Structure 1
């Protein structure tokens, strides 16, 4: 777990760089994924297939499954925008419930 809201994002960037090519990656936001996430971290996550990482807003809920350095992009995601008019839990969007199949990668 990386607490990017209260600390530097370099440990996250270092971790993302260290992931072995072909590895499946699962990410989920809790509290605040947007305001402190560095551009470098966003770019590394986008390279794993995320289409929403660069547009995440304050307290958005986001779950993402992708993979590092695959010739075919694997991307499953759910994204719920933080919106005071539609939030279910006061200042928080609804909980994300995601299911699906993650394909096995063969080298």
Structure 2
């Protein structure tokens, strides 16, 4: 009968109206906004994290240099030195070697040449150092004394295959706060015969004294 058809149509309309009301009531407005942007073809807004110099976790004040020093890993992966967002030494640059890797800012080796090299560093020069494989055998007492003058607290204890990263300066009056050292110990070594690599980052003042 025609009346039954009308009733079914009205019931269907009421059902659709009730469904629409539930959606409007229970779905969060933010979800609707996101869906609307998607329907309109708008890309979601992504916040890009700021990049700091040398890939460090924090930025440095205006009168400081950002640096990152990574020691070698065993005798397989070489060290890297970044200073003020410039990679000075790395495997990619192919300018590293086993033993001591030293970079001077402002401004190999047998031990005698290393002694002369360190002795001739000008006052105020920042020195960045990373070990690779074994650095201790590249040193004698004179070489170690030069690093002590540069502000090192650990160089005198550096032993066979120890890992060491250091930033100091010629003419430094106090000990440098930028130094890390890990002993070669068969009980704690990460690699077979070598300790874990060291990674140090920070902000060095433009004038270290």
Scaled to the shorter chain, the TM-score interval is 0.7 to 0.9
Task: With the length of structure 2 as denominator, give the TM-score of the two structures.
Answer: 0.46
**Higher helix proportion, which one?**
2
> Cα RMSD between the aligned structures?
2.3
Task: With the length of structure 1 as denominator, give the TM-score of the two structures.
Answer: 0.86
Equivalent residues in 2 for 1:10-89, closer than 5 Å: 10-89=112-191
Residues 4 and 37, structure 1, Cα contact 8 Å, conserved in 2: no
Can you give the 5+ residue segments of structure 1 that lack an aligned partner in the other structure?
Answer: none
Residues 2 and 12, structure 1, Cα contact 8 Å, conserved in 2: no
Query: Relative contact order (C-alpha < 8 Å, sep 6+): which is higher?
Result: 1
| C-alpha distance in 2 between matches for 1:63 and 1:105 | 20
Can you give the 5+ residue segments of structure 2 that lack an aligned partner in the other structure?
Answer: 1-95, 101-108
SS at match of 2:117: helix
4+ residue runs of structure 1 moved beyond 6 angstroms? none
**Higher strand proportion, which one?**
2
Count how many residue pairs are aligned between Structure 1 and Structure 2: 106
Of 33-42 and 10-19, more deviation after overlay is shown by: 33-42
